[in-house]
Chain A
Amino acid sequence: MQIILATMFQTDPSQSLPPLDAGNASIWHHMSDALHQSIYRVLSLLISILPGMLAFVVALAIFTVIGMALSALLRHALTAARFDDRLARGRSSGEWAPSTSPTALIARASFWGCILLGLMIGVSAFDASYATAATLPISFLPYLTHGVSAIFLLIAGTLVARYLARTVLIGAVNAQLQYARFLSLGVKWMVVVLTWAMVLDHLQIGGKVVDLAFGILFGGIVLTLALAVGLGSRDLVSRSLESHTERTGEHNAPPPAAPTTGPGDSIQHF
C-alpha cells in the first residue's frame, strides 16, 4: 500500500520505483500517467470555469453595490419630494404602513431589480466563458436556469397553498363545518403535491414516475376530500334544501318582521 501511495504522488516514476521486475514497472508507469492526466483534466476544467465564476461573482457584486446606491438615492430623493404624501392625496385610504410605504417599496424594488440584473449578467458571462472553454457538459447551464425557476415555482406554490389553506379554514369555520381543519389541510396538500410535481417535472427528475405518483396522490386526496365533505355535509345540505323548500312554499307570504341573519334565532346583526 505504501508503495502504491508513493507511486501515486510521485512526479517522476523512474526516480523512486522499487526494483521490481519490468512488467510491474510498466503497469505503475501507465497508472501514474493515467492519474496525472486525470488530475490535469480536473485542474484544466477548474481553471476554465474560474474566469466564468469570477465574472459571475464580480457582476453580482457590482450590481449589488449599484442597487444599494440606487436604492439609497431613490429613498432620499422620494423622501425629499414628499412622494408618499403626494400619493396619499389621491387615495381613499391615505396612510401607508411604514414598512410598506411607496418610497420603501420603490427603493426595495430597485435594489432587488439590480440584484436580478446582476444575476442575469453573471449567468451570461458564465455562459460565455463556458462556450469558449467548451469543457462543461452541454446540459449544465440550462439545468441551472431550470433549477432557479424551480425554486421560484416552489416558493409561489407554497404561498398559494398557504393562502388557499387559510381561505378554506376561515370559510369552513364560519360555515360551522366541524371538519374545517381537515378540509384546509386537504386543500393545502393538494396544492403542495401539485407544486412538487411541477417542480420535479420542470427539473426533469423522475420522468413518468412523477406523473404517475402525482396522479395517484392527487386523485387520492380529491377522493378523500370528496368523501369527507360529502359524508360530513349531509346535514348541511339537507338543511339548505329544507330551507329552500320552505322559502319556495312561502313565496307569496309577507316577509317576516324580524329576519334571522346568522347563528341565534331572534338576533339581528344589522
Chain B
Amino acid sequence: MTTADPIPDLTAASAPPGAGLLVLLAAMTTEQLESVVANLTAYFPAEGLIIATQEALLADSYPALRIVAAPETKASWTLTGADFVNAYQLAEKFEARGILMLGPESASLGSSALRELAGAVFAVSTDLAVPHYELPPYAGLVNSAILYPLTRALFASRVRFPLAIDLGISLRMAKLLAGAAQRFSKLNQSEAPLWPVNEATVAGYTIGQCDVGPRVQPTGLDLNTILPLVTGALFSDIEAKAAFWQRFRPLPPEDTQRTKPQMPSADVPAEIAPMLQAFRLAYTNLQEIWSLVLPPQSLLGLKRLNATDAAEFRMPDNLWARIVFDFLIAYRLRTINRGHLLGALIPLYLAWAASHINITASGTSPEGHIEAVAAAFENDKTYLVARWRWPDRFNP
C-alpha cells in the first residue's frame, strides 16, 4: 500500500476534459451561483459539465448546460458525509468521469482555481485534489493549530487544509468516501464532517494539492460549537484508523518545484487580550478538569503561561503538541464526557492562538510558525503512540 504523497505538481494541469465533470454546488445565493457558473464555463466546455445544485437555476439562462437537482443537505459550512454520498450517486447516474465539489462561498474562487481542481481530477494518478488556500493572516487558525499538524504527524501528509470545503475527486475516490459516509449515516451522523485526506491516505490513493489563491470563508461560525465538532470528528477518525497511523511512515519530501503561497504577515497584530482573558478565566475554573486529562508537566507549563504577561505570552510548541495528544488520549479512553473534554480544549486553543499572534508579531512568518508546530507534533508522535498502547503506564 502506497501513501498519497509526494504531492504532484498540479499547477501545470492537464488539458480541459472533454466531458463528464460533475460539479456539486453547496447552497448559495443566485448571484453566487451565477458567478460560479460563469467561472466554470470560462474554462470548461459547457457540454462537458453537469451542474448539480440545490438552488433553482434557470435552465433557460444556460441552454448548453446540463443542470440537475442535488438533494438538500443540512450542511452550511463544510462538506459532510451526505454530500459525498450525493456526489457519488449523481456521478454514477450521469456517468461522470470526475467530480468537483464546491462548498459555501465558492464564488470567491477564481476560474483558474476551478481549473486547477477540476484538471487534477482528470490528471493521471490523482484521486483527490485538495486546494491550498491563500488566507489572510490569522485566518484558519483551528486548521493551523490542530487539523494540519495532527494530520501531518499521524497520516504523513503535507496537505495544508485537510478539511478543505472544495475538492476535486475521482470516481473511485467518490466511491470510497461514499462508503465511509454510509457508515456514518448508519449511526445517524450523516452530517458529520468526513476526512477525505485520511481516507485517501489509508486506501493508498494519490492526493494532489492545488494552489487556488484567496477564498472567502463561510460566515457565522461559532467557535464554541464548531471547534468541538471538528476536533471530535477528527479524533474519532484517528481512533478508527489507529492501526494505520501507529506504524512509522516518513513524511514525503516537500515538492520543491511548487511555490507554496505564503500567508502574509499582518500589518497590525490582532488583539489578543480577549483570548488571554478567556484562557486565564479557564485556568482559574477548569483546573479540576484539566488535571484529569493532562500530566503534571503540562499543568506546570500552563501555570507558567498563566503567570506570563500578555506581551511575553508564548506557548511552547511541544507543550501544545502534548496538550492535543493528551486530549486525544482522553477522548479515546473516555476519561471524562467527550463533550466536556472538547469544551475544555477551547480555552487552551485560544491560548495557542494568542501565542501564535505574539510570535508572528515578533517577526516570525505565520507559515514558519505553523510548520514549526507541525514539526513538534511529528517529533512527539512517539509519546502519543506509547500512551495509546499503554495508557495506564503514563496515567497523569
Residues in chain A within 8 A of chain B (CB atoms): 90-95, 97-100, 163, 166-167, 169-171, 173-176, 178, 180-181, 184, 255-259, 261-270
Q: Which of A173, A261, A269 contacts B286 (CB 8 A)?
A: A173
Closest 3 CB pairs of A and B: A263-B274, A262-B223, A170-B343
- Residues from chain A with Cβ under 8 Å of B278 in the complex: 173-174, 176, 263
Chain B stretch 116-152: residues in CB contact (< 8 A) with chain A: 135-136, 138-143
User: SS class of chain B's interface: helix, strand, loop or mixed?
Assistant: helix
- Residues from chain B with Cβ under 8 Å of A91 in the complex: 183, 187, 240
Number of A-B contacts (CB under 8 A): 139
- A94-B239, A178-B281 known; A267-B138 Cβ under 8 A: yes
- A92-B184, A180-B281, A259-B220 known; A266-B340 Cβ under 8 A: no
Contact between chains at B219 and A255 (CB < 8 Å): yes
For A179, the closest partner residue in chain B by CB is B285
Q: Bound state CA distance, A180 and B274, in angstroms? A: 17
Contact between chains at A261 and B223 (CB < 8 Å): yes
Contact between chains at B270 and A95 (CB < 8 Å): no
Contact between chains at A263 and B350 (CB < 8 Å): yes
Contact between chains at A266 and B270 (CB < 8 Å): yes
- Residues from chain B with Cβ under 8 Å of A173 in the complex: 278, 281-282, 285-286, 347
What count of chain B residues pass the 8 Å CB interface test? Answer: 64
B290 to chain A, nearest CB (A): 11
Q: Bound state CA distance, A265 and B268, in angstroms? A: 12
A203 to chain B, nearest CB (A): 30
Q: Given A169-B286, A265-B270, list of 4 further CB < 8 A pairs? A: A92-B183, A171-B343, A184-B285, A255-B219
A95 to chain B, nearest CB (A): 5
Interface string of B257-282 (1 = CB under 8 A from A): 00000000010101110110110011
B128 to chain A, nearest CB (A): 19
- Residues from chain A with Cβ under 8 Å of B336 in the complex: 166
Contact between chains at A166 and B337 (CB < 8 Å): yes
B75 to chain A, nearest CB (A): 14
For B183, the closest partner residue in chain A by CB is A92
Contact between chains at B216 and A257 (CB < 8 Å): yes
Instruction: Answer whether residue B222 sits at the interface, using C-beta atoms and an 8 A cutoff.
Output: yes
Contact between chains at A266 and B138 (CB < 8 Å): yes
Q: Bound state CA distance, A267 and B145, in angstroms? A: 13
Q: Bound state CA distance, A3 and B263, in angstroms? A: 104
For B81, the closest partner residue in chain A by CB is A92
Q: Which of B139, B183, B272, B285 contacts A169 (CB 8 A)?
A: B285
- Residues from chain B with Cβ under 8 Å of A98 in the complex: 391
- Residues from chain B with Cβ under 8 Å of A268 in the complex: 135-136, 138-141, 217
For A178, the closest partner residue in chain B by CB is B281
For A180, the closest partner residue in chain B by CB is B285
Contact between chains at A264 and B272 (CB < 8 Å): yes
- Residues from chain B with Cβ under 8 Å of A267 in the complex: 138-139, 141, 270, 275, 353, 357
Q: Which of A100, A170, A256 contacts B340 (CB 8 A)?
A: A170
Q: Bound state CA distance, A181 and B354, in angstroms? A: 24
- Residues from chain A with Cβ under 8 Å of B240 in the complex: 91-95
Complex A-B: 15 CB contacts under 8 Å: A94-B241, A94-B243, A97-B332, A169-B285, A169-B286, A171-B343, A174-B346, A181-B285, A262-B222, A264-B353, A268-B136, A268-B138, A269-B227, A269-B353, A270-B142
B94 to chain A, nearest CB (A): 28
For A258, the closest partner residue in chain B by CB is B136
B385 to chain A, nearest CB (A): 13
Contact between chains at B236 and A264 (CB < 8 Å): no
- Residues from chain B with Cβ under 8 Å of A171 in the complex: 343
Q: Bound state CA distance, A92 and B81, in angstroms? A: 12
B95 to chain A, nearest CB (A): 29
Instruction: Answer whether residue B242 sits at the interface, using C-beta atoms and an 8 A cutoff.
Output: yes
Q: Bound state CA distance, A257 and B217, in angstroms? A: 8
Q: Bound state CA distance, A261 and B219, in angstroms? A: 8
Q: Bound state CA distance, A258 and B219, in angstroms? A: 8
Contact between chains at A265 and B239 (CB < 8 Å): no
Q: Bound state CA distance, A9 and B354, in angstroms? A: 85
Instruction: Answer whether residue B189 sits at the interface, using C-beta atoms and an 8 A cutoff.
Output: yes
- Residues from chain A with Cβ under 8 Å of B284 in the complex: 181
Contact between chains at B236 and A92 (CB < 8 Å): yes
Contact between chains at B281 and A97 (CB < 8 Å): no
Q: Bound state CA distance, A244 and B235, in angstroms? A: 35
Interface string of B272-313 (1 = CB under 8 A from A): 101101100110111001000000000000000000000000
B293 to chain A, nearest CB (A): 12
A61 to chain B, nearest CB (A): 32
- Residues from chain B with Cβ under 8 Å of A90 in the complex: 183, 186
Q: Which of A93, A100, A174 contacts B224 (CB 8 A)?
A: A174
- Residues from chain A with Cβ under 8 Å of B334 in the complex: 97, 100
For A98, the closest partner residue in chain B by CB is B391
Instruction: Answer whether residue B221 sits at the interface, using C-beta atoms and an 8 A cutoff.
Output: yes
Interface string of B298-335 (1 = CB under 8 A from A): 00000000000000000000000000000000001110
Of listed A91, A257, A269, residue having the most chain B CB within 10 A: A269
Q: Bound state CA distance, A181 and B282, in angstroms? A: 10
B228 to chain A, nearest CB (A): 10
Q: Bound state CA distance, A257 and B136, in angstroms? A: 11
B256 to chain A, nearest CB (A): 30
Contact between chains at B343 and A259 (CB < 8 Å): no
- Residues from chain A with Cβ under 8 Å of B277 in the complex: 176, 263
